[in-house]
Amino acid sequence: MAKEKKLTQSEIDGVQYRRAKLWQIILVACNAFIGMSIYSLINMASYAASIGFGISTAVVGVILTCTRILDGVTDPMLAFIYDKVNTRFGKIRILIIIGFAIEALALMAMYNWAAGKGLGIVAFTLCYVVYVIGYTIANMTALTINPLISNDPKQRPTISVWSTALNYIIPMVLSIALNVVLLPKFGGTYNTEFLGAACKVCLAIAAVGVVLVCIGVSEYDKPENFAGLTTKKENLKLKDMIAIIKNNRPLQCYIVSAASDKIAQQTASQSIITTMMNGIIIGNMGLGTTLTVVGMLPSIIFAIIGAKYAGKHGSQLTIVTWTRICIVISVVMWAFFIIIDPTKIAQMGVFTVIYVILTLAKNGANMCVTTASTAFMSDIIDYELDRSGRYVPAVITGTYSLIDKVISSFSAVMATGAVALIGYTTTMPQPGDALTPGIFWVTMIVMFGLPIIGWICTLIAMKFCHLTKADMVEVQKRIAAKKAAAQAEGK
Q: Please report the sign of the dihedral spanned by the C-alpha atoms of residue 22, residue 23, residue 26, residue 31.
A: negative
Is pLDDT above 50 for 9? no
Residue 449 confidence (pLDDT) above 50? yes
More confident residue, 159 or 404: 159
Give 232's pLDDT tier (boundaries 50, 70, 90).
low
In the chain, % of residues over pLDDT 90 = 33
Distance CA 152, CA 316 (A): 15
Mean pLDDT of the chain: 85
Neighbours of 318 (CB within 10 A): 26
Give the pLDDT mean for 186-191: 84
pLDDT recorded at residue 2: 39
More confident position, 330 or 90: 330
Crossing angle (nearest 10°) for helices 249-268 and 393-408: 30
Mean pLDDT confidence for 136-156: 88
Q: How many of the other CB atoms lie within 10 Å of CB of 377?
A: 23
User: Are 330 and 451 a contacting pair, CB within 8 Å?
Assistant: yes
Query: Could you tell me the pTM of the whole model?
Result: 0.83
Summarised one tens digit per residue, pLDDT across range 392-422 is 888 888 888 888 777 777 777 788 888 888 8
Angle of helix 192-217 versus helix 156-176 axis, rounded to 10: 160
Per-residue confidence band for 196, with pLDDT thresholds at 50, 70 and 90: very high
Confidence of residue 190 (pLDDT cuts 50, 70, 90): confident
Most distant CA pair in the chain: distance in Å? 77
Of 60-64, 244-248, 450-454, 466-470, where does the model show the most confidence? 450-454
pLDDT of residue 186: 87
Q: How far apart are CA 404 and CA 261, in angstroms?
A: 10
**List of residues 6+ apart from 192 with CB closer than 8 A:** 51, 52, 115, 116
Q: Confidence band (pLDDT; 50, 70, 90) for 484?
A: confident
Residue 455 has pLDDT above 90, yes or no: yes
